[in-house]
Structure 1
Amino acid sequence: MTAGPLQAVEAHLAAFNARDTDAVLAGFAEDAVFASGDLLVVGRRGLARLFAEAFSGEARAALEIRRAVVTGDTVACELRELVAFAGGTTELEVAAFFTVREGRLVRVKVYREGAA
């Protein structure tokens, strides 16, 4: 059975929080689009580089859903991002919009506090 949109997003966030690149990529469609600020990544190959780089750093980010609204195949989320690094931690507010088809993320647009 295919996961519903919210379940697909929850699985993505769990994989992200675990820094599990393979599980993160498994949740994306082959031709998925990821956009955040000036960053635009198209396709799983680009996403593999993006997440491998993100997970290789010393900073550890964890995302949690504060609120989610599901309309059709779109999930709008208010997220809390807690970033831990050598000097301490910081908390950021994030808005993200996920489009899910057949249980996979096909489009993700992220608006992060302090980013364009």
Structure 2
Amino acid sequence: MTDLVEIAKIWNGIIEIYKETIPQNNPKVTVVAVYKKFGKAKTNEAFATIAAIKKHDGRISPRNRKKLSSIPVNPDCTVWDRMVNPMIGCNLDYIHTAHIDNMITELEV
């Protein structure tokens, strides 16, 4: 499992790659770029962490939640306390959850 600070840095990096690839309007292009920068394991863990943080958000499909369920997530990454969890300081809502779900669909888990 990735530590709190690193997973937050990865998520911020995913946001930056999303900004760069959004004109192509293709989640597969974004996922390929993210995999290239962070690798599959770290990328998949970052998306699993976001899904865990947004556990009550119905815009992440049950199929994709099941897909991510096999990926261990650092439980400290899901604590809603900015002082403990740097993920809460990330712009968690910059990428609309429906777009996150589309990218999860493209992950190779």
TM-score where L is the length of structure 2: 0.33
Structure with greater proportional helix content: 2
Structure 1 or 2, whichever has the larger Rg, is: 1
Structure with greater proportional strand content: 1
